[in-house]
Structure 1
Amino acid sequence: MRRLGSLVLLLVLALVGCSDVHTVAGTGPGGGKAGQAPASRNPADRDVDRYLDRVLPPGLGITVAAARGGELTHCAGRGLADRAARAPATCDTVYDVMSITKQFTAAAILKLEMSGKLRVSDRIGAYLGSVPADKRAITLHQLLTHTAGLPESLGDDYDPLSRAELLAGVMKARLRSAPGKEFRYSNAGYSVLAAIVEKVSGLSYERFLAESLFRPAGMTRTGYVLPAWKREQVAVEYDRHGRAQGRPMDHPWASDGPSWNLRGNGGMLSTARDMFRWHRALAGDRVLSATAKRKLFAPQVRVPELDGAYGYGWVVVDSGLGEHRYSGYR
């Protein structure tokens, strides 16, 4: 990264055989030399291309964005977004950003707190009604930090599951640890948060994000179904062996997006350009207040296996050059 000089942001969207877990998003092996970008007249593009040629394995289908300050200085695809159709990845290729979805959910909760509609210290029973005795102490803060003790999931990402079924399953599930005691990564916990966003706001999860987060950030190409994607805009996902797994919407989805084993914790679709807009929005105050951002990025709970801490949807580590944050744990 130091070879990029004053380029201060490098954003890569790429699916590198991760279709079974929520991590960073993208397209996977693109085949042959397609992973290398063509020569560019832009010096910043050439700097990025030389760096990526050196550090990335050949054949990946990815989109890379780099910025200097508030200006996007490089945004281009490398390799193929769809191997069968020989369709190249571009700056505006749409990817499943997987567990990066969690920090959107966390931001939605903080947005509701800013408007006085909830507090992260509230217990979940304030919004979900009757809660079993073993779960009555669970707070929104514990859901946000994976310390509620809930199971990782209730099944496969694409199992048909309604919001009511998700909440009923969580309430019946055995806790893995007492609330507030241990970091136990839970996709189900973030789906519960998405359900609370809906109950408190009176809107669907995606609609609330679109109106309260994405629109103020200038993001028009992020969501589950509201952007009305054309099929060819969305990258095909591949497993670690290069086998095509289809596009996200090729799997069982409800009419308004993925079912509730995935909703709120993964599956959000976006582009590199829109993710840069989100980066810029979080650097300012268009979406979240300074107080809300301190909560979002604070090292809330230590996680030894990460050699760092977990905030609200963000992992926080010390890079040796200062605090570094990234989303998409697991």
Structure 2
Amino acid sequence: MSNKLFYLISTVFLSFNVVAQDANFKNYTQKIGGSPQVYDMVAIPGGEFMMGSPASEKGHKADEGPQHKVKIEPFWMGKYEVVWDIYDLYTFKNMEKEMAARHPDTEKSVQKTDASTRPSPPYVDMSFGMGRAGYPAINMTQYAAIHFCKWLYEKTGVFYRLPTEAEWEYACRAGSKTAYSFGDDAAKLDEYAWHRKNSDAAYKKIGQKKPNAWGLHDMHGNVMEWTLDQYIPDYYSKKPAGEAYAPVTELYPTAVRGGSWDDEPADLRSAARTPSKPEWKILDPQLPKSEWWMTSASFVGFRLVRPAKTPSAEEIKAYYSPKLIEDY
């Protein structure tokens, strides 16, 4: 065989492998074993983008600069925020078992999660009467959101986690370079988001507004979303080259993104950053008292991501076992 022919065949073979791998990187629906619940995941292509906002952007804040280029590996992200319908299965073990009894073919999934670390059931309605079925789960700490991911991993065998700030902003922008994923005109925000001026002082059911260009709903508004990062105001100016995110080493603050039903339009911009606050824990609705699983922040929820490249078993264990910071 000539070198030229060998090169041609090799090139075709390699191209086929790339296409074959890419063919598996597509949107999918994750079934939640032991229940009728599902969670839709959207394939987010890898790429580079300018993170942060320019000083000229209306609403720009100092912690959004300087803009800097970030490379993002491909991942999947939840089409919607995690809803109560799924989160309650994690919080209430009895509910999970009762649901599984109606779906006997998935009994093993409950056995896998039987020893999962969970919050003690709250003694108040954590939706605060604003709605439950089809509404985003709210009032959990970042610690609780991480343990929810662990519960789901044990249940499905698929690694899920919170997004980094960079992943979140990249997905929110969906290729855009403007203040919002749809452009710079805040007058169009009502088409895409729930915020202080149109929410009637309450969060709404997921997916009622237009999605961004990549098919993600409610990235702007409805509820803020937890990320993996420590919130550091000047992080962009001193971020080490190649560092994916700022690991949490202190209790406060951690980074929350997206703005909420209780925020002004400027706080819903793609680059807007919000630090968590101690006041969010003014109420501990648990008996007995333990680590802080819940908050009084009825404007904070989360959505999941799944990296296209599955981490090692050691990395997964480390992610699901965050160092317990006092009063976490």
TM-score (norm 2): 0.25
Larger Rg: 2
From the two aligned structures, give the one with the greater helix fraction.
1
